[in-house]
Structure 1
Amino acid sequence: MQAKYISYQETGSFSKLVLDYINNQEDLSTFYSFRPDMDGLAQALENRHFIGDRNTLSEVLKQQYQHLKPNKSVIKNIELLALENTFTVTTGHQLNLFTGPLYFIYKIVTTINLAIELKIAHPDKNFVPVYWMATEDHDFDEINHVSVDEKNISWIQQTNGATGRLSTKTVAAAVLAYKGYLGISKNGKRIAKLVEQAYLEHDNLADATRFLVNNLFERYGLVIVNADDARLKKQFAAIITTDIIDENSSKIIEETSKKLEQNGYKSQVNGRDINFFYLKDELRERIILKDENYTVNHTDISFTTEELKAEIDAHPERFSPNVVMRPMYQEVILPNIAYIGGGAEVAYWMQLKANFDFYKVDFPVLLLRNSALLIDKRSAQNIYSLGFELEDFFLSAEELKNIWVRKNSTAQLSLADETRAINSIFDQIKLNAYKIDKTLSVSTDTAKQKTNHLLANLEKKLFRAEKRKHEVALLQIDNVKKRLFPNGTLQERILNIAPMYVNYGEDFLSSCIENFEPLGGDFTLLLPS
């Protein structure tokens, strides 16, 4: 595949905070530690003081992979994590059904590519790309569906607990529906087999997701972490105890959020007084301070302060961080120097910087994941035949139609000259009226406004009439927009990997690896060769 790069600004799809961060606006400088470039990453490496247990991390991962039989690249990277000169580049994501929207794939690719670039820049160190599975997240409704061929495939299941622990016993119907879309081509059969093995031969969603993602990316050495583990949580226990009892994070993050808002940026997350859930079996519920006891919401479970400390000490795995504290847990147990996230993630991580400083945990370099639009050959041909450039199609369909009609119509569709002439006449009328009676100037202005309004409406009618003569071309614009921007939004936010894999096979993933530039700061347009 070939690639073309355009600025994020040109897409019109990214927030002010993201664009300001990319463009190094001074207003944001206090909300992160290092710039998202090679110099910033070098500074992060120099200043990284890892407090976690490398040997424990490596051993836990070896156990998590023992039934998977990963390739040599993954095994080597897990072993390298025990060494002092090894660092991670991490992205995190929920356990979306069949990998969910394409941007999940793009997060992984960005992470892999950054690890490769860092190794080239720092050959004396090792860099391991990591996918942090959000196995403790309990919002099943966010991950239980996937969009393929303009249809939603859903996994119907009742659950309140951590999604990583969710049994896959009821997923067969969703797998069957997904396979029906994949078809009988060589590529379709391959990914269908992977999905069957992942979801029908593994007992829970965490293991199923690990199997599928590992098979897609193991050749690049991607290491997949499930942090729902007592040995890993033990390293976070001191912060869990302090934060629940002293309620530090809620105060600190609230203050940071106010500062961001004062600078014109929106908050992405809101902390609670207690930013941990109680996690046990199929239960994941908020911990609330009530009548001087720590109560688990919607249950009879309750602890005094001393009982809470004892419970954390004995069972740290039962305390699950929410969105505010999960990033800190990640940075405590991983020797991480960079986090790859989408625009909303970059924004909410900035709300957390002061909290990291308070707990003396190093804050990673924040990098915006690569974003891409794959433009199929048919759409590319349509765009060029219509006289547009590829990047023009980030404009709305209506804007594109207006541009096309103006370019291709022989009729005079603009009444701008006539409007200026009439306004000039009204200005003269107003001057004459003012000489007769000063109050008449207001009446003249009113008449001018009404006339301008009538002319504007007439111009719109002329345009609509001309458009009706070019229905074929304008319909083509609509069709291309629908293909490239399903539901009117970026392709990567809606479509699953399925159509890309069916049409292009492994070439799709390898092309992403080849063309994504993690430090490039641009949006990627992919075109089949």
Structure 2
Amino acid sequence: MNVVPEPLPGGSALASDYIHQFENVEHLYGGDFRNRENRVKRAEWLDGTASLRANRTGVVSYLRSYNGAHNAHEEVMRSIDLLEQPETLVVTGGQQSGLFTGPLFVIYKAITTIQAAREAAAQLGRPVVPLFWIAGEDHDWDEVNHTYVLNRTGEISRIKLDIGEGPRSSVSEIKVEAESWLQATLQLDGLLQDSEFKPQVMEFVTAASLGSDNMTTAFAKLMGSLFGQYGLILLDSADPALRRLEAPMFAAIIERNDELEAAYTAAADRIAAGGYVLQADVTPGNANLFYIHEGARLLLHKEGDRFADRKLVVSFSRTELLELLESHPERFSNNVLTRPLMQDYVLPVLATVLGQGEIAYWAIPQQAFGVMGGQMPLIIPRMSFTVIEGTLHKHMDKYGLSFTDVRLGLDDKRKEWLTAQDELKIEERFEQTKAAFTAMYEPLIEQLGAIQAGLLKLGNNNKDKIIDQISFLQGKALDAMEKQNEAALRQWERIELSVMPLGKLQERVYNMMYYLNRYGLGWLEELMAVPADYSGTHRIIYM
């Protein structure tokens, strides 16, 4: 495995400035994650504010129960034991659960979280444990119910998990029948080529899937199979047992909702004043809180002292909402702007690992942390990779293609290469023939028109038909040439499908199961051994 940096242009301007020109956006965030002094200051602040957070013993008890059920590796239990100690801090990462772990970047985020926790522990000389916050409370089922793999013939294939109709529930609450899991796992099995590693891969995929009745549980079991050995603690944000621990923060969010709204609005104005685009909506009257009603997750808005959803399915006074929270905390759920506050309340978060889009929207709750008596944790950009297999790399070298060439699109490069294979210069000669024919034939048509006006129209129609026939033969000749170079063009297609599927970075599309099937679990161990890099630089992994 050879790892080469490959900086990528584009992305969020705000996130780019956070990574590369922090001084421009320091007022929108906490301290610079690269500065050891800031890590020390954050740790000291956490030590002095333990009383502001959820009861550590209660959180640890919950984590023991959840991980004991889905992620019971001895290293995980050791991490949880450490978390029980008051000096232990946490580095978090998180994502929605996804089918068979979802796209590759989820795996890279987990790796970043583990490596960042190790580094922080060494720097600070105190325990720092990694924790992955599964956003099971999110309700965008269509975003997580499918995944993509390269199939046996090197083409992209989509696997989708089907369920029956139901309310717009949190992903953790959507029931998945055993038959649906079986169909999805059989589809994965059929798409993956046979390999020495396939039985092991399918064994833990099948065990996680058929042993679960929802997406989040299956995701947790798979993540535990992959990362439990590294001590990665898992947490489901939709777990009712966790909700009871979160109730005091939900109460504060309800009671101070107007102040939070003002803080979000002020931050949004500062972001816009800096010339940046907001990455999350900040709308007047949004309570930034969901209420679960008859299985449906409803976003609450404020009108005066009342909280209601847009369709007025539910409507509560502030007092009624607080009473409901006391009796039914499991009915409450965060949105993207209150989740950072909740995470900081539940855990002693030294730093959190975010993708570039997340880095940009985390600037919005920066002032809201202060409203709740907190401080924004340090932010660590997740690591980003593209995997290029050995055969694929040889093909790229053969055709003189760089990663940038593939990223920008290969149509022009492929056409140039195909033209270079044309020793007969077919296209050029056909174009010359059409030009010569036109030059000879048009004067004759003009002369015929002088004899009879109808002959001019007839002659032009005749000329166009002959040109069409020449073009038809030209197309057939080019098709024959492409067929002659079919194997090579297939290699070009494979390069594109592997490196930039669907026109997107590989890590945003493909599932990791193809690579585990190809290289075994040792591939994950090699990824874990890649030196940490929090500079936001994309890196190419040449296998």
1:111 to 1:5, Cα distance in 2 relative to 1, 3 A = same
Q: How far did 1:44 drift?
A: 2.1
1:400-456 residue CA offsets vs partner (Å, 9 max, x unmatched): 56997999999xxxxxxxxxxxxxxxxxxxxxxxxxxxxxxxxxxxxxxxxxxxxxx
Please name the residue that 1:142 is paired with: 143
**Structure 2 unaligned residues grouped into runs of 5+:** 151-155, 424-477
Q: Please say if 1:121 is aligned against 2:123.
A: yes
Please name the residue that 2:508 is paired with: 493
Within 5 Å, give how 1:7-18 maps onto structure 2: 7=7, 11-18=8-15
1:113 to 1:284, Cα distance in 2 relative to 1, 3 A = same
TM-score by length of 2: 0.79
Within 5 Å, give how 1:22-37 maps onto structure 2: 22-37=19-34
- One-letter amino acid of the structure 1 residue matched with residue 94 of structure 2: G
Q: Please say if 1:163 is aligned against 2:161.
A: no
1:69 to 1:155, Cα distance in 2 relative to 1, 3 A = closer
Please name the residue that 1:19 is paired with: 16
Q: Please say if 1:314 is aligned against 2:316.
A: no
How far, CA to CA, are the matches of 1:244 and 1:109 in structure 2? 35
1:482 to 1:181, Cα distance in 2 relative to 1, 3 A = closer
1:332-377 residue CA offsets vs partner (Å, 9 max, x unmatched): 0011111111111111111111111221222111111110010111
- One-letter amino acid of the structure 2 residue matched with residue 20 of structure 1: D
- One-letter amino acid of the structure 2 residue matched with residue 206 of structure 1: T
Q: Please say if 1:353 is aligned against 2:366.
A: yes
TM-score by length of 1: 0.81
Please name the residue that 2:231 is paired with: 221
Q: How far did 1:513 drift?
A: 0.9
Q: How far did 1:102 drift?
A: 0.6
1:390 to 1:230, Cα distance in 2 relative to 1, 3 A = closer
Please name the residue that 2:355 is paired with: 342
Q: Please say if 1:379 is aligned against 2:392.
A: yes
Q: How far did 1:283 drift?
A: 2.6
Equivalent pair of 2:263/2:368 in contact (CA under 8 Å): yes
- One-letter amino acid of the structure 2 residue matched with residue 145 of structure 1: H
How far, CA to CA, are the matches of 2:501 and 2:418 in structure 1? 24
Equivalent pair of 2:90/2:130 in contact (CA under 8 Å): yes
Query: After the TM superposition, which of the residue ranges 513-522 and 80-89 deviates more from structure 2?
Result: 513-522
Q: How far did 1:287 drift?
A: 2.4
Equivalent pair of 1:56/1:231 in contact (CA under 8 Å): no
Counterpart pick for 1:152 among 152, 158, 167:
158
Equivalent pair of 2:112/2:353 in contact (CA under 8 Å): yes
Query: After the TM superposition, which of the residue ranges 313-322 and 296-305 deviates more from structure 2?
Result: 296-305
Q: How far did 1:66 drift?
A: 3.0
Please name the residue that 2:471 is paired with: none
Q: How far did 1:291 drift?
A: 7.5
Residue 65 of structure 1 aligns to a residue whose secondary structure is: helix
Counterpart pick for 2:376 among 363, 367, 373:
363
How far, CA to CA, are the matches of 2:258 and 2:494 in structure 1? 53
How far, CA to CA, are the matches of 2:211 and 2:419 in structure 1? 58
- One-letter amino acid of the structure 2 residue matched with residue 351 of structure 1: I
Q: How far did 1:203 drift?
A: 2.6
Please name the residue that 2:96 is paired with: 94
1:67-120 residue CA offsets vs partner (Å, 9 max, x unmatched): 346221101111111111111111111011111111111100111111111222
Q: How far did 1:216 drift?
A: 0.7
Residue 362 of structure 2 aligns to a residue whose secondary structure is: helix
Residue 277 of structure 2 aligns to a residue whose secondary structure is: coil
Please name the residue that 2:202 is paired with: 192
- One-letter amino acid of the structure 2 residue matched with residue 155 of structure 1: L
Please name the residue that 1:323 is paired with: 336
1:346 to 1:408, Cα distance in 2 relative to 1, 3 A = farther
Q: How far did 1:255 drift?
A: 2.2
Equivalent pair of 1:244/1:275 in contact (CA under 8 Å): no
How far, CA to CA, are the matches of 2:396 and 2:157 in structure 1? 26
Q: How far did 1:399 drift?
A: 6.5
How far, CA to CA, are the matches of 2:350 and 2:338 in structure 1? 18
- One-letter amino acid of the structure 2 residue matched with residue 163 of structure 1: V
1:178 to 1:489, Cα distance in 2 relative to 1, 3 A = same
Equivalent pair of 1:108/1:131 in contact (CA under 8 Å): yes
Query: After the TM superposition, which of the residue ranges 223-232 and 156-165 deviates more from structure 2?
Result: 223-232
Q: How far did 1:204 drift?
A: 2.8
1:192 to 1:78, Cα distance in 2 relative to 1, 3 A = same
Query: After the TM superposition, which of the residue ranges 94-103 and 13-22 deviates more from structure 2?
Result: 13-22
1:24 to 1:300, Cα distance in 2 relative to 1, 3 A = closer
How far, CA to CA, are the matches of 2:71 and 2:169 in structure 1? 29
Q: Please say if 1:271 is aligned against 2:268.
A: no
**Structure 1 unaligned residues grouped into runs of 5+:** 411-464
Please name the residue that 1:44 is paired with: 42
1:78 to 1:403, Cα distance in 2 relative to 1, 3 A = farther
1:485-526 residue CA offsets vs partner (Å, 9 max, x unmatched): 111110001111121111111122112111151434422211
How far, CA to CA, are the matches of 2:364 and 2:518 in structure 1? 41
Please name the residue that 1:432 is paired with: none
How far, CA to CA, are the matches of 1:525 and 1:89 in structure 2? 25
Residue 198 of structure 1 aligns to a residue whose secondary structure is: helix
RMSD, aligned α-carbons? 2.9
Please name the residue that 1:451 is paired with: none
1:305 to 1:223, Cα distance in 2 relative to 1, 3 A = same
Residue 279 of structure 1 aligns to a residue whose secondary structure is: strand
Counterpart pick for 2:346 among 330, 333, 336:
333
How far, CA to CA, are the matches of 2:306 and 2:403 in structure 1? 60
Q: How far did 1:183 drift?
A: 4.5
Q: How far did 1:187 drift?
A: 1.9
Equivalent pair of 2:97/2:215 in contact (CA under 8 Å): yes
Q: How far did 1:178 drift?
A: 1.8
1:276-324 residue CA offsets vs partner (Å, 9 max, x unmatched): 1112562311224458543356575443332222112232232111111
- One-letter amino acid of the structure 1 residue matched with residue 296 of structure 2: L
Residue 367 of structure 1 aligns to a residue whose secondary structure is: strand
